Structures are given as C-alpha cells and as structure tokens.
Structure 1
Amino acid sequence: MPLHEYKGIVYPFFVSRENLEAMPNFRMRDDDIVIASYPKTGTNWILEMVSRVLQAAGRSEMTSEDRAFAKLEFHHPELPQTTHVLLEDSPSLRVILTHLGPDAAPPGIAHPQGNVKVIVIMRNPKDVAVSYYHFSLDIMRNYFYFGRIAAYFVTWDRFFNLFLSGEVVFGDFFDHVLSWWEKRHDPHFLFLKYEDVQRNPTDAVKTVMEFLEVDLDDVTIRRIAEESSFHNMKETLGDSHLKHRTVMARKGVVGDWKNYFTPEQSRAFDAKYREKLEGTGLEFEFEGSIL
C-alpha cells in the first residue's frame, strides 16, 4: 500500500498530508458524537451500537452503513471529496470516526466543549496486531494489483516486528492509546474496552445509552445488544455494497493472538507492554487474564 510519513507517523495514501493539515480548522457541532480508536480495536462494532441506540431513541434514522464514510481524515476512493469536507455539509446528528491521536485530531475532538461526546474504544494489543495483520493482507488483495502475492511480502513475522516498533499505519499502538487515556477524567469522554463489550454487550449498550443521554427500556436495550453482536455485525458488514466494509470483521474473539505469537514474540511484546503501560492505570485483558 502506498504510504507516507507525517510528523513521525505513517499514513496510507488516502490520509493525505493535505487532509491532516486541514484538521485544525475542522469545526465541531455541539451535538457531534465521535468514535476515536486505533485501527482494529472495534470501531465498526461501536459504530453499529451507537447507530442503533440513536435510531431507537428517535434521534437519527441513519444506519451504520449510512455513516460508513465518516472517518474524518480519509479520502475514500469511492468519493469525490475528502470526508472532512463532506461532513461539513452533512446534517446533524453527526457520528464522526477517527484513527487520529489527540495531537493530530481537530481541537474540538482533542479538547471537546459543550455537548460534544467522544467514545474511545480500545482492545488488547496482541489481538490488535493479529487483526491488523489480516486486515492489511485483505486490503492488498482487494485494492492492489499485487494482492495475490501479498502474503509472500507481508509475513506475520515481518508485520509483528513493524507493529512492535510502531512503524505500522497510524503509528505506535501504545503511544496512541495512552494519548487518549490522558483524557479519562474529562466527562466528555467514555472509554470502552473491546473485551468488555464482547463479554457483556447488554451492559455495553446501557453504558453507551447513558453516555449519550438517551432513555431506552430493557427490551430495546437487549434487542440492540443482540442486533449489534459481533456475529450480526459481521453479517451486516459482509452484505455491504461498500467494498472496504466487507473486510472489516474477521473473528472477533479474545485470545486469537496465541495462534500466531511465538514464545519469543510474546515475551518481547510483554516487555514493551510493561515498559509503556506500567503505572498508567491502563490494563488489558488477554483471554481471561490481565498482563
């Protein structure tokens, strides 16, 4: 995939320097909802949940499919303009997605005011690495002419080393999540963990509902939890008429990293995990245990 570097972070060609330089001027609205995430941590899962909560509350008729192009910094090949330009003309209520960290995101997202709400979804980094690896292969197979031999060039071992060194698209996982984690005491932010959403989707729906200040009955909450389960969301994505959505979901399990990490890789990863996260209060679950 054609890549470029901007302020020390690697980006794909569809997140251009021009797009990134436009971020400081993006204007937020008082009713905006933002989903901020590192890639492959559950962005579309939370988008599905948020969209269904807003629909059930009568605040928006838009589905997750309608909002599929809402990644703020992107210029999707299917669209004539960049997302941030399209969002300027989009009707409220906007649900905005971003993989940018606070330093690169618009000030109105990094330092929200008024009723702006930011949901940050995070996932254990070992499973993120595995999911990101497969997603990278799928993108090359679907969008680039050398896709048939992509696996030859992008082996798991090579991708692991790039991920561990922070040289993948959107930069170092640990730096990214920690930069958002610093906002945890700001009431404009809600932090969710992928593993918690998977374990108890009903509680996740309730948490999102309360954060968005809507009131739904228990029957509706349970229905949304079922409709936005990973299994149902994967079917929704697989049936999408938008090509990039069809490769977004794979397994959705916790602990798949054990099928890929060698003992040496796991030890190297654990060392970086402790170096970066020790003392921060941020912990992740790795199949029933916290490192």
Structure 2
Amino acid sequence: MDTDDFINIDNVPMLTIFPEDNVRSAMQYEPSASDVVIVTYPKCGTTWVQYIVAHILTKAEPPKNPAEYMLCSPLLELLGAESAVRAERRGPLITHLPLSNIVFSEQAKYIYVARNPYDCSVSCYYFFKGLTSSRIKDVSFDTFLELFHSGKTVYGDYFDHLIPWYEMRCEPNVLSITYEQVKKNTGEVVLKIADFLGDEHGRALREDKQFYEKVLESSSLGNMKKVFDYTPVERVKALGELPPAKFLKSLESFKGMTIDMNTMHEGAAFVRKGDVGDWRSHYTAEHITRTKVWIAQKTKGSEVMNLWKELDLP
C-alpha cells in the first residue's frame, strides 16, 4: 500500500484527499446536545450504523443523492466542522478520528461501533487497496497486514482507537455496539439504538410497524450494496458539484477533482461482503500467529477482546 500518500495531522495518518483545514476543524469541534456522533475505526460498520441512525432520525427518508446524503450525515474530518452546524443537517455526524484527537462532549450522544480485528483487517485491505495507485505493485494482503499491525494505516493503530472507547462504554452518553451484534440481530440493535437516541424514537418504531420494517429493509446489506455503489472518490467529486445554495466553503478543494479511478487498484467499496468470519479465507497460519502476538501485546491489561468471546477467534 502507498503510505507515501499519507499526511500526518497531529499524529493521525490521513489520506491527502482530506483537506488539512477540515481535519483540524473536526478535531476542534465540540458537539452540541443535539448531536449524535457515530465513531468507528474504518471498516467496522460505519456505513451500516450510519444508515440505520439516519433512517431513524429522518423517519426513513434520508437523501438518496450521494452528496446530499453526506451533507445530511457528514464525515467530519472530510467536510469540516462547517458541515456540522448547517441548519438542514438531520442525520448523525461521523468520525474515524481517535478519542484523543477530538473534543468529547458530555452533552452529545456517541455511538461507538467495534469490529473484531481479523475481519476489520480484511475489510480495510480491500477498501484501501482500491485507493492505492496502480504504480504501487505490492498490494498483497500480507504486506497490508504488516502495516495494519504496525499502525501504519489511515487513522493509525486499530487498538489505540478501540481501547480508549472501550473504557468509555459505561458512560451514560455512549452506546457501544459491535458489528457482529448488528449482523446477528439487526432488529434488536435497531431498537437499542432508537432507545438510546431518545424514548420518542424507540416508541415510534414500536408503534409504527411499517416504519420499523422500512428501517430494517433499507439497512439490509443487499439494499445498501445498491445504495452505496459508488467509490469514495466518486462520492467526494459529487461534493464539489453541489449547487451554490448547498455548497460549503470547506468543499472548495473538491471542485473540479480529476482523480482517475482507472489508475487505482480494484477494491474500494463502501459495502463489500458484510460477512462475519471472512478473515478465514485470507489468513494463513503464519498470519494468525503474527496477529495473536500483536493482539496479546496491544491488549495487555485490557479485557477488550471479550467483545468477541462468542466468536471462534484464534
């Protein structure tokens, strides 16, 4: 993978497609009492939970246009803090930034989504491979896993991101869930999220079966693969083409973006398989050994891996 395409912003490795001013404004943004912030390490269920929350908050009517959907539910470090304070924003805020690099607000609501490190590494591999120039020849999973274990990937180390939020899981304004829980029982998790967002949201889903079923149907993996069938670069380019009335100053650098996806390796998808256990078709015995050593080192003194005690992980 191409680590030369990273910029370091306050010790967080970021892709150069992220405007530095936007990243810094996201780091400095203090969420308000009306904000719902979804926090994840990349490829841990961000898009899935974001879509569920957006449906709950918009009464199952989130924008279908990619750019307008991003304005409804912005990735803070991509669009900047300006996107968070727009009056028409109706969905949750999204960030992959580490806890140490954001302003934590006791007034806002946070949903942290975790995914087991084995499946996360595989999903990250395919996603970031699709954002890697074809001039980089070695895009093997073996090479990526080495970078993943050393924290030399976008947003930095997986466990450095996860463990601080794991320690916050009992805070009253934090809901901690796992990708695997969403996969196993989507309906139960949807209600859990709705109750966390506010009694009125949980009540609305329980009293209106049609609304509840629409949220479940829309957030199915099959439907989401159809909705999110564009690449990250196509999504960003769409932001630069917004009409003046909806345009943000923070989007200026996206105007006229000319990145050719044909010069990238294949693999960048927001929704790929969505399986639990897909790592088994990628990990060799040597990969498992290396990963077990890494996990033991990074989680010493933490019970964070208990999140997946029901999975048959090595």
Where 2:93 maps in the other structure, the secondary structure is: strand
SS at match of 1:15: coil
Identity of aligned residues (%): 27
Deviations 1:237-285 (A, max 9, x none): 1179982498211100011111111101111111221332354232243
> In 1, Cα distance between the equivalents of 2:116 and 2:191?
22
In the alignment, is the contact (CA less than 8 A) between 1:100 and 1:170 conserved in 2?
yes
Find 2:311's aligned residue among 284, 288, 291.
288
Matches within 5 A, 1:83-102: 83-102=80-99
- How far, CA to CA, are the matches of 2:56 and 2:193 in structure 1? 8
Structure 2 counterpart of 1:33: 36
What's the TM-score once normalised by structure 1's chain length?
0.83
| Distance in 2 between residues matched to 1:241 and 1:39, nearest whole Å | 13
CA separation of 1:244 and 1:267: change in aligned 2, threshold 3 A: farther
**1:69-148 → structure 2 map (5 Å cutoff):** 70-74=74-78, 82-105=79-102, 107=103, 110=104, 112-114=105-107, 116-140=108-132, 146-147=133-134
Which aligned segments of 4 or more residues in structure 1 are displaced greater than 4 angstroms? 239-242
1:23-79 Cα deviation digits (max 9, x unpaired): 45424232111110100001000011011112238xxx53474332511011xxxxx
Amino acid at match of 1:270: K
Describe the SS at the equivalent of 1:56.
Answer: coil
What's 1:67 paired with?
A: 69
Provide the secondary structure at the position in 1 that maps to 2:304. coil
- Aligned length, in residue pairs: 269
Q: What SS does structure 1 have at the residue aligned with 2:130?
A: helix
Q: Give unpaired runs (5+ residues) of structure 1.
A: 75-81, 141-145
**8 A contact 1:120–1:192 mirrored in 2:** yes
Q: 1:14 to 1:179 in 2, by over 3 A?
A: farther
Superposed CA deviations along residues 211-250 of structure 1, whole A, max 9, x for unmatched, are 1111222623343223211221111111799824982111
1:280–1:241: structure 2 CA closer, same or farther, 3 Å change rule? closer
* Aligned ranges 1:1-291 → 2 under 5 Å: 2-23=5-26, 25-56=28-59, 61-63=61-63, 65=66, 66-68=68-70, 70-74=74-78, 82-105=79-102, 107=103, 110=104, 112-114=105-107, 116-140=108-132, 146-147=133-134, 150=136, 152-213=137-198, 214=201, 215=203, 216-217=205-206, 219=209, 220-238=211-229, 243-244=234-235, 247-283=269-305, 284-285=307-308, 288-290=311-313
**What TM-score, normalized by structure 2, do the two folds share?**
0.77
Deviation, structure 1 residue 195: 0.6
Q: Verify the 8 A CA contact 2:23 2:76 in the aligned structure 1.
A: no
Residue deviations 1:118-141 (CA, integer Å, cap 9, x gap): 11111011111111111112223x
Greater alpha carbon shift after TM alignment, 258-267 vs 215-224 = 215-224
Look up the match of 1:143. none
CA distance in 1, matches of 2:147, 2:220: 31
* In structure 2, distance between residues paired with 1:250 and 1:160: 19
Measure the CA separation in 1 of the matches of 2:291 and 2:97. 23
Asked if the contact 1:31–1:92 (Cα under 8 Å) also holds between the matched residues in 2, the reply is no
Q: Which residue of 2 aligns with 1:79?
A: none
Relative to structure 1, the CA distance from residue 289 to residue 23 in structure 2 (aligned partners, 3 Å threshold; closer, same or farther) is same
Instruction: Choose 117-126 or 16-25, whichever is displaced more.
Output: 16-25
CA RMSD of aligned residues (A): 2.6
Where 1:192 maps in the other structure, the secondary structure is strand
What CA distance in whole angstroms lies between the structure 2 residues aligned with 1:163 and 1:201? 29
Deviation for aligned residue 1:100: 0.3
Aligned amino acid, residue 225 of structure 1: L
